[in-house]
């Protein structure tokens, strides 16, 4: 993702979240990509409660303990559930409008911040990155930067819970074989751009990563990856434990 903080004028998802919060409905949150056809994010989904969350998100919320960082917290759906469970959570997001909504919805600690520029030192027992949370890493080349940041902000024994998907199914041929250009960029590296009404966001990188590749990078940078749960469609929840 574009790691700079957003401004309201280029914060389409935040605008959609703000509209939905204010009126209970929102227009189309459109998603463009050079790799895929135009798509849409149902804004209501960003306000899901525990009941409507994917099973692996529910698992992540249950396993989160100690002081928790909800990274890329959006409307605050996970942070609010954690608070309900009596857990201590800081929520951050680069979107100013989302942070405003989180505070209005009752998230006790919500701040506009970019994960990669956070000043926290050994503060968190758990970092949560949910709804293809690996996306925030952007590209494989940012893996080192990501794990160094986690080493800095996690307490000893700390853990990151992250969900992601293996996009290989998009490249599956009719005979079940995979047509992946091994000389090209990693197949999970995607670019997106969003638009909500007249608000256009800048293009950003978003990483989908298969569990094996994630494990390789984790061990290279001092973490152990564990497959906690698999979802219904090539998605999974991983725990990344600091060694
Ligand atoms: N976790 C929420 C929202 C997911 S959308 C949910 O599950 O509903 C991804 C969110 O990450 C967006 O709100 C986006 O603004 C935020 N984000 C992207 N890059 C970020 C970064 N570098 N630091 C913090 N937040 C980031």
128: β partners: 70, 161
* pTM for the model: 0.96
* pLDDT tens figures, 108-160: 999 999 999 999 999 999 999 999 999 999 999 999 999 999 999 999 999 99
Domain that holds residue 130: 53-188+205-242
Question: In this structure, is residue 28 part of a structural domain?
Answer: no
Residue 183 sits at the vertex; the CA angle it makes with 181 and 185, to the nearest 5 degrees, is 80
With a 6 Å cutoff on the Cβ, whether 82 touches ligand 1 is: no
Q: Report DSSP letters for 64-78, one per residue.
A: --SEEEEET-TTSHH
Residue nearest to atom 13 of ligand 1 (CA): 74
User: Ligand 1 atom 10: the closest Cα is on which residue?
Assistant: 72
Domain of residue 88, CATH code: 3.40.50.150
Residue 80 lies in a domain: yes
Q: What is the dihedral of CA 31, 33, 36, 39, to 10 degrees?
A: 10
Say yes or no to pLDDT of 101 above 70: yes
Evaluate if residue 1 carries a pLDDT over 50. no
- For residue 48, tell me if it sits in a domain: no
Q: Please check whether residue 110 lies inside any domain of the structure.
A: yes
The pLDDT tens digits of the residues spanning 196-238 come to: 999 999 999 999 999 999 999 999 999 999 999 999 999 999 9
Cβ of 94 less than 6 Å from ligand 1: yes
Give the pLDDT of residue 38. 97
């Amino acid at each position: 993702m574009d790691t700079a903080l957003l401004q309201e004028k280029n914060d389409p998802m935040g605008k959609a979240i703000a509209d939905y919060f204010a009126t209970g409905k929102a227009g189309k949150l459109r998603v463009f990509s050079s790799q895929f056809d135009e798509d849409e994010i149902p804004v209501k989904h960003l306000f899901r409660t525990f009941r409507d969350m994917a099973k692996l998100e529910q698992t992540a919320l249950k396993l989160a303990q100690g002081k928790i960082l909800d990274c890329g917290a959006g409307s605050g759906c996970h942070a609010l559930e954690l608070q309900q469970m009596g857990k201590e959570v800081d929520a951050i997001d680069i979107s100013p409008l989302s942070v405003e909504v989180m505070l209005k919805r009752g998230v006790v600690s919500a701040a506009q911040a970019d994960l990669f520029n956070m000043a926290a030192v050994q503060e968190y027992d758990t970092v949560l990155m949910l709804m293809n949370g690996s996306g925030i890493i952007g590209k494989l080349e940012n893996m080192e930067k990501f794990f160094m940041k986690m080493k800095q902000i996690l307490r000893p024994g700390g853990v990151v819970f992250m969900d992601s998907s293996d996009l290989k199914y998009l490249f599956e041929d009719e005979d079940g074989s995979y047509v992946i250009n091994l000389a090209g960029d990693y197949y999970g590296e995607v670019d997106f751009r969003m638009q909500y009404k007249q608000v256009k966001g800048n293009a950003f990188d978003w990483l989908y990563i298969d569990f094996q590749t994630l494990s390789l990078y984790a061990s290279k940078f001092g973490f152990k990856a564990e497959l906690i749960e698999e979802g219904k469609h090539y998605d999974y929840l991983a725990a990344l434990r600091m060694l």
